[in-house]
Chain A
């Protein structure tokens, strides 16, 4: 299926583009993270297990168990620092 993947803050800075269309076989946000970090390079660095990565699915705070659906938007970003 096709999904939109977005990156923010330090993760975006490391990866480059802030958004990309991804064709994926992943069924969950966690499997998508695995696919992306398997690309190596900056992806492997910033999305590695043990790194503090937060996930939003369709603009709602989520976690790795969230199920992907065709056309959904998944975002990866570091812990937030607003206020």
Chain B
């Protein structure tokens, strides 16, 4: 399972996941990871409900990993995205990548996050004191993906 995707309600353990990626692979010289968390914003978000498209979400992220493997010299990648009810401070997403040297895993990690933000079917609904609201997609996420030569078409 050098390249794998999990969509789950359960939390994840960063050190356990990265340890699993590099264990028994002596070629690895770099492990790069990103963890996204629920931001406790000034406007009082109490919790967030994450929805996805079962089946498609997994396939979409697997296709992104395939694209990352074509673009970068990486040995392993792990993507975990949580769904369901999450509160400020909780972990939402993990992207972890290994490579021989840092450049490739740094880039692959950022590429996967930029791609995921605009192309993976997830939707966030925030619970605030004024009621629930769907989070709007941001044009800046499309701009981040455009750096890699991919049109986001999101916002």
A contact set with B: CB distance below 8 Å: 6, 8-10, 52, 54, 56, 59-61, 75, 77-83
Q: Which chain B residues (109-135) contact chain A, with CB distance < 8 Å?
A: 113, 116-125, 134-135
Q: A8-B51, A10-B134 are in contact. Are A56 and B154 (CB under 8 A)?
A: no
> Which 3 A/B pairs are nearest by Cβ-Cβ distance?
A82-B122, A79-B137, A9-B123
- Residues B93 and A80 in contact, CB atoms below 8 Å apart: no
Quick check: is B19 within 8 A (CB to CB) of the other chain? Answer: no
Name which residue of chain A comes closest to B113, CB basis: A83
**Nearest Cβ distance between residue B59 and chain A, in whole angstroms?**
6
**Which residues does chain B contribute within 8 Å of A60, judged by CB atoms?**
56, 59-60
Q: A56-B56, A59-B53 are in contact. Are A83 and B123 (CB under 8 A)?
A: no
What's the tally of chain B residues with a CB closer than 8 Å to chain A?
31
**Nearest Cβ distance between residue B74 and chain A, in whole angstroms?**
19
- Residues B135 and A59 in contact, CB atoms below 8 Å apart: no
Q: A8-B53, A61-B60, A61-B119 are in contact. Are A81 and B92 (CB under 8 A)?
A: no
Name which residue of chain A comes closest to B112, CB basis: A83
Using A9-B125, A52-B155 as known contacts, list a sample of 20 further A-B pairs with CB atoms less than 8 Å apart, ordered by residue number in A. Answer: A9-B134, A10-B134, A52-B137, A56-B56, A75-B56, A78-B123, A78-B137, A79-B118, A80-B120, A80-B121, A80-B122, A80-B137, A81-B135, A81-B136, A82-B116, A82-B120, A82-B122, A83-B36, A83-B116, A83-B122
